[in-house]
Amino acid sequence: MSKVITPREKDYSKWYNDLVVEADLADHSAVRGCMVIKPHGYGIWEKMQQALDKMFKDTGHVNAYFPLFIPKSLFEAEEKNAEGFAKECAVVTHYRLKADPNNKGKLIVDPEAKLEEELIVRPTSEAIIWNTYKGWIESYRDLPLLINQWANVVRWEMRTRLFLRTAEFLWQEGHTAHATKQEAIEETEKMLNVYADFVENFMAVPVVKGIKTANERFAGADETYCIEALMQDGKALQCGTSHFLGQNFAKAFDVKFTNKEGKLDHVWATSWGVSTRLMGALIMSHSDNQGLVIPPKLAPTQVVIIPIYKGEEGLKQITEVVNSIKVKLQQRNVSVKYDDRDSQRPGWKFAEYELKGIPLRIAIGERDLASGTVELARRDTLTKEVVKIEGLELHIETLLQQIQSDLYKKALERTVGSTHHVSTYEEFKKVLDEKSGFVYAHWDGTPETEEKIKEETKATIRCIPLNNKQENGVCIYSGKPSTQKVLFARAY
Amino acid sequence: MSKVITPREKDYSKWYNDLVVEADLADHSAVRGCMVIKPHGYGIWEKMQQALDKMFKDTGHVNAYFPLFIPKSLFEAEEKNAEGFAKECAVVTHYRLKADPNNKGKLIVDPEAKLEEELIVRPTSEAIIWNTYKGWIESYRDLPLLINQWANVVRWEMRTRLFLRTAEFLWQEGHTAHATKQEAIEETEKMLNVYADFVENFMAVPVVKGIKTANERFAGADETYCIEALMQDGKALQCGTSHFLGQNFAKAFDVKFTNKEGKLDHVWATSWGVSTRLMGALIMSHSDNQGLVIPPKLAPTQVVIIPIYKGEEGLKQITEVVNSIKVKLQQRNVSVKYDDRDSQRPGWKFAEYELKGIPLRIAIGERDLASGTVELARRDTLTKEVVKIEGLELHIETLLQQIQSDLYKKALERTVGSTHHVSTYEEFKKVLDEKSGFVYAHWDGTPETEEKIKEETKATIRCIPLNNKQENGVCIYSGKPSTQKVLFARAY
């Protein structure tokens, strides 16, 4: 049974869904809006986690774990945050089921097991964490607290898409507490840079770093920093956010500390997160009609070896050579899989690993043994070459680095090619409709104009880029004066 | 502010709670029965996860992720499983909050956002996973499926204790699907052995491997295997379970496959799990009145170095030497922390790291620089020695292995010393009350007798040990014939 993916040109959205399911990345589940992350998809997510976790620890953070549930009264404490998430909360109201007296074998919610106070399944953990920090922080000696959590969160989204927007998703959320405003802002910016570093250097996806407008800010934050990337269809995807929370949560939960001068002050806070949404960014940045393309640094398997043989004796000879290639690759920390299953033909296997995005494929037949060569195929370019077995491991090591940087270069060229500057609203709409992509345009700085443009064009301000060029101009919508262009796009 | 732990002799239960909180392992949260796992506790859990995850992967398993929620109708499908967990389920009934019209700033559950079907927060994932496997399995070629999940689960326990029994806990759950009964049983036993290997060789906790009686079996399993360990207070703790699920879930979810002969058959299943409960076993096996003792293999920090100095110049000289010691230790994969904070005195630091269970402490003062030595203290024995700096890293490497095996030996001696064989019910009760520990006794094999003994003595059958000695005798309770002694204990 061959797996069919709708071509990108025909229906990009369907291409994406087909690819996610057929490449065994994720699947829909029996629970509305929740996905199953399949082993191949989860394997990539694990690689992402490992790399990020190391970066968090290298910048002084430690991991911890806070409860899944937030009592409603705590959830309400930071009003803006509560308001922002209230409309999409899963709410636990009971703690027991009982046999349905009218329907044998069926269960009903036990009305006698109603919770005194409803519990919210965390959509984000600021409330429960800051309520906890209250007990941990007394003096400046307890600061900074630099804590991260890997967890599942739930936001009851109405329209969901695998990885991009699901009711439950996996993420990490950093929550830090600081003695000064300046230190908290530095932390916010540091973690934005960690995210940008990860997305560019591991995912091979170029990003624009910037600050969100008030409209797009995280509910409860004073400032939201973000990284934005451009997908192949010219739509933007927010890849990560880092929030400067000011003293909002410290005030809501009354978290004060004694500073070095002996005075009481509220603590300063940040929070920052990336999620399984990054899987969507990865897929939509590099993949093609043959399936997934995984950057080598995040590939759970970097090289697959497929034997082409007749009979057991032939396989045995090939396997002997393959085993020595495998050992040499593993010594260089190249992850390698040998697929010698006899239940599938080589052609089927070629297609399967192309679909799954394994960066390099080695095919080795009986004739290759005589010539001391193998056929090496690159997933990203779909090119093949015949390579000597001697020194193969060195060649592959270099090639994997090459693929990693080629993928980034290709994505960067695409992004640059899809980045436009416009001066008028007509031009703005024309570019969005005909070319899509990132569009830089002057904006008068008001939420009203931003809202109008969104209504009329579906484009939003992705961010005000960091170190943005200051230049006088007029807002494309209102004609009012503006000091800088901001980054617009239609977005996921 | 010094941290006080109640002595074990005075109140074992309070000692445990004090230790968990004061050693920064976990804390109570604002949510009934849910804990916060603090960074030091989570660091140990991460070490456990890494070791287990490697063992799972080395035995051919892959990770995936399934939804947090289970629709009630799926939850009901395997009747025994549903019945077993129905009484402790957190139930999501609504998906939105709204502003309380009568109470400004407060939120209420929006009655219009009632779910058509209630969602159960997973207490265990067989139901959602087997409903998923239905779509993944068609033929014997799709088998075996060897999948593990790291996740949080919720069981609404009425009486909770940090790590040992909490409403939400972290665990891994393996769920495998097989073509034959034999293969599924082999998998069940293989994973039991993996658990025993981990608990004995990483946690340094000796275990008894066995099979649960029907009474104590996992709801929905044909057979439950377990490992049981004995805590310092003579109570048993179940450390892990591995279930042979027969075709129960395959039948409940109609999961069939075409076998090699082309015939349709139901799939055979296993599931197996260990949880943050292991943290409880770790704590209660090795710790003392000074605090936690961590086996070196699971210690996030294995060696802490504390400088004893006067003035900046002294610190500078010490730091220079410490840095070279650190590098040499790190080269040997020894994790090391240098605590040169000037906000706390050495004595405070000594107590703090003793409390936190760091296996080795190096103290280095200005006089040590002259003699080329340091003071090295073992946490487990609380002994100190003066050691040459030259070759220190080799000494420490050996010592860490020594501590690991000493801890196991000590726990084994304690367990053996607390294991008793009795022939009469009088003796049984006397041993339980006066000595506690593991008690081997003949049992007639009936659930009724097991139930009676439990009612009268609070002791349960922990397991029927694997490879149990077959010997004729009479049941201590009923006097009926018995062919083997089984393992009783009072348990957590």
Beta-strand (E) ranges in B15-76? 26-28, 35-37, 62-63, 69-71
Q: Does pLDDT of A1 surpass 70?
A: no
- Nearest chain B CA: its distance from A491 CA (Å): 25
pLDDT (0 to 100) of residue A343: 85
Q: Does pLDDT of A68 surpass 50?
A: yes
- Nearest chain A CA: its distance from B103 CA (Å): 12
Q: Alpha-carbon distance A147 to A136, whole Å?
A: 12
Where do runs of H (alpha helix) occur along A243-310? 248-252, 277-286
When CB atoms are compared, the residue of B38, B63, B82 closest to A42 is B63
Mean pLDDT in residue range A64-86: 95
When CB atoms are compared, the residue of B42, B91, B128 closest to A64 is B42
When CB atoms are compared, the residue of B43, B68, B128 closest to A62 is B43
Length of chain B, please? 492
Q: Which of A97, A150, A253 is the mutation pick for testing B, counting most B CBs within 10 A?
A: A97
| Lowest-confidence region among A43-52, A54-63, A193-202, B339-348 | B339-348
Residues whose CB falls within 8 Å of the CB of residue A324, separated by 6 or more in sequence, listed in order: none
When CB atoms are compared, the residue of A68, A96, A107 closest to B76 is A107
Nearest by Cα to A267 from A195, A170, A335, A175: A175
Beta-carbon-side half-sphere exposure of residue B344 (alpha carbons within 13 Å): 16
- Is B5 inside a domain boundary? no
The share of chain A scoring above pLDDT 70, in percent, equals 100
When CB atoms are compared, the residue of A63, A79, A132 closest to B29 is A132
The ipTM is 0.97
Q: Are B49 and B273 in contact (CB under 8 A)?
A: no
Q: Does pLDDT of B397 surpass 80?
A: yes
Number of domains in chain B: 3
Question: For the segment B41-61, what is each residue's pLDDT rounded down to a tens digit?
Answer: 999 999 999 999 999 999 999
C-alpha separations of B91 from A120, A439, B360 in Å = 11, 46, 46
- Is B78 inside a domain boundary? no
Same domain, yes or no: B270 and B332: no
What is the DSSP pairing of strand A419-421 with strand A438-442? parallel
Beta carbons of B105 and A36 less than 8 Å apart: no
Same domain, yes or no: B171 and B246: yes
Residues whose CB falls within 8 Å of the CB of residue B94, separated by 6 or more in sequence, listed in order: A90, A91, A93, B109, B110, B111, B113, B114, B115
Which structure tokens are listed for A31? 């629970």
Contact residues on chain B for A119, CB-CB shorter than 8 A: 31, 90
C-alpha separations of A303 from A3, A325, A362, A377 in Å = 22, 11, 7, 10
- Is A106 inside a domain boundary? no
When CB atoms are compared, the residue of A39, A90, A99 closest to B63 is A39
Q: Output helix, strand, coil percentages for chain A, rounded to the nearest 5.
A: 40, 30, 35
Q: What is the CATH number of the domain that holds A263?
A: 3.30.930.10
pLDDT (0 to 100) of residue B398: 98
When CB atoms are compared, the residue of B31, B67, B147 closest to A34 is B67
pLDDT (0 to 100) of residue A35: 98
* Prior bond of B300 cis (ω within 30°): no
- Is B157 inside a domain boundary? yes
Question: For the segment B127-186, what is each residue's pLDDT rounded down to a tens digit?
Answer: 999 999 999 999 999 999 999 999 999 999 889 999 999 999 999 999 999 999 999 999
Same domain, yes or no: B150 and B194: yes
Q: Are A178 and A270 in contact (CB under 8 A)?
A: yes
Residues whose CB falls within 8 Å of the CB of residue B91, separated by 6 or more in sequence, listed in order: A92, A93, A94, A95, A96, A97, A109, B118, B119, B120, B121
Q: Which of B1, B21, B29, B115 is the mutation pick for testing A, counting most A CBs within 10 A?
A: B29
A61: pLDDT confidence band, cut at 50, 70 and 90?
very high
Question: For the segment B64-112, what is each residue's pLDDT rounded down to a tens digit?
Answer: 999 999 999 999 999 999 999 999 999 999 999 999 999 988 999 999 9
- Nearest chain B CA: its distance from A37 CA (Å): 5
The chain A residue lying nearest B108, using CA atoms, is: A72
- Is A292 inside a domain boundary? no
Contact residues on chain A for B29, CB-CB shorter than 8 A: 66-67, 128, 132
Same domain, yes or no: A156 and A21: yes
Beta-strand (E) ranges in A161-250? 168-178, 208-211, 223-230, 236-246
Contact residues on chain B for A106, CB-CB shorter than 8 A: 76
Nearest by Cα to A381 from A276, A257, A290: A290
Mean pLDDT in residue range B416-427: 98
Enumerate residues 312 to 341 of chain B having a beta carbon within 8 A of any beta carbon in chain A.
none
A163: left (phi over 0), alpha (psi -120 to 50) or beta: left
Q: Does pLDDT of A401 surpass 50?
A: yes
Q: What is the CATH number of the domain that holds B472?
A: 3.30.110.30
Task: Let me know the angle formed at the C-alpha of B143 by B138 and B144, rounded to the nearest 5 degrees.
Answer: 150
Q: Alpha-carbon distance B231 to B176, whole Å?
A: 31
Where do runs of H (alpha helix) occur along B435-487? 447-457
Place of tokens 């591995």: B242
Contact residues on chain B for A84, CB-CB shorter than 8 A: none
The chain A residue lying nearest B79, using CA atoms, is: A105
Same domain, yes or no: B443 and B380: no
Beta carbons of A46 and B38 less than 8 Å apart: no
- Is B334 inside a domain boundary? yes
Beta carbons of A43 and B37 less than 8 Å apart: no
When CB atoms are compared, the residue of A31, A68, A118 closest to B71 is A31
A171 touches chain B (CB under 8 A): no
A158: pLDDT confidence band, cut at 50, 70 and 90?
confident
Contact residues on chain B for A29, CB-CB shorter than 8 A: 66-67, 128, 132
Contact residues on chain A for B88, CB-CB shorter than 8 A: 95-96
A121 touches chain B (CB under 8 A): yes
- Nearest chain A CA: its distance from B124 CA (Å): 15
A105: pLDDT confidence band, cut at 50, 70 and 90?
confident
Enumerate residues 56 to 95 of chain B having a beta carbon within 8 A of any beta carbon in chain A.
62-72, 74-76, 79, 82, 86-95
Residues whose CB falls within 8 Å of the CB of residue B257, separated by 6 or more in sequence, listed in order: B137, B138, B139, B140, B142, B143, B179, B264, B265, B267
Q: Alpha-carbon distance A458 to A178, whole Å?
A: 38
Place of tokens 């082309």: B262
Q: Are A140 and A119 in contact (CB under 8 A)?
A: no
Which of A369, A389, A414 is the endpoint of a domain? A414
The chain B residue lying nearest A28, using CA atoms, is: B132
pLDDT (0 to 100) of residue B329: 98
Beta carbons of A93 and B88 less than 8 Å apart: no
Question: For the segment A201-233, what is each residue's pLDDT rounded down to a tens digit?
Answer: 999 999 999 999 999 999 999 999 999 999 999
- Is A98 inside a domain boundary? no
Same domain, yes or no: A211 and A327: no
Nearest by Cα to B175 from B142, B140, B147: B147
Same domain, yes or no: A392 and A340: yes
> At CB < 8 A and 24+ separation, what contacts does B321-330 make?
B321/B364, B321/B369, B321/B389, B322/B364, B325/B362, B325/B374, B325/B389, B325/B392, B325/B393, B328/B392, B328/B393, B329/B303, B329/B393, B329/B396
The chain B residue lying nearest A41, using CA atoms, is: B64
pLDDT (0 to 100) of residue B1: 45
What average pLDDT does the structure give for chain A? 97
Contact residues on chain A for B47, CB-CB shorter than 8 A: none
Q: What is the CATH number of the domain that holds A313?
A: 3.40.50.800
Same domain, yes or no: B280 and B307: no
Residues whose CB falls within 8 Å of the CB of residue A25, separated by 6 or more in sequence, listed in order: A19, A37, A38, A40, A41, A44, A162, A163, A279, A283, A292
Beta-strand (E) ranges in B61-186? 62-63, 69-71, 91-94, 97-99, 107-109, 114-121, 145-154, 168-178
Nearest by Cα to A69 from A34, A96, A93, A33: A93
Beta-carbon-side half-sphere exposure of residue A391 (alpha carbons within 13 Å): 5
Task: Map residue A55 onto helix, strand or coil.
Answer: helix
Q: Which domain holds residue B317?
A: 301-405
Same domain, yes or no: B430 and B327: no
Q: Are B474 and B481 in contact (CB under 8 A)?
A: yes
Mean pLDDT in residue range A170-183: 98
B2: pLDDT confidence band, cut at 50, 70 and 90?
low
Q: Does pLDDT of A3 surpass 80?
A: no
pLDDT (0 to 100) of residue A374: 98
- Is B102 inside a domain boundary? no
Same domain, yes or no: B252 and B168: yes
Torsion angle of the four alpha carbons B227, B231, B234, B240, in this order, in degrees rounded to the nearest 10:
-20
Same domain, yes or no: A188 and A62: yes
Contact residues on chain B for A89, CB-CB shorter than 8 A: 95-97
pLDDT (0 to 100) of residue B373: 97
Q: Alpha-carbon distance A276 to A281, whole Å?
A: 9
Question: For the segment B354-376, what is each residue's pLDDT rounded down to a tens digit?
Answer: 999 999 999 999 999 999 999 99
pLDDT (0 to 100) of residue A33: 93
Question: For the segment A288-339, what is each residue's pLDDT rounded down to a tens digit?
Answer: 999 999 999 999 999 999 999 989 999 999 999 999 999 999 999 999 999 9
DSSP-assigned beta bridge partners for residue A152: A170
Q: Alpha-carbon distance A178 to B309, whole Å?
A: 29
Beta carbons of B68 and A152 less than 8 Å apart: yes
When CB atoms are compared, the residue of A42, A90, A106 closest to B65 is A42
Which of B405, B435, B464 is the endpoint of a domain? B405
Beta carbons of A95 and B90 less than 8 Å apart: yes
pTM given for the model: 0.97
Question: For the segment B449-489, what is each residue's pLDDT rounded down to a tens digit?
Answer: 999 999 999 999 999 999 999 999 999 999 999 999 999 99
Which of A398, A414, A430 is the endpoint of a domain? A414
pLDDT (0 to 100) of residue B158: 86
Same domain, yes or no: B151 and B248: yes
- Residue B248, amino acid: N
pLDDT (0 to 100) of residue B343: 85
Q: Does pLDDT of A2 surpass 80?
A: no
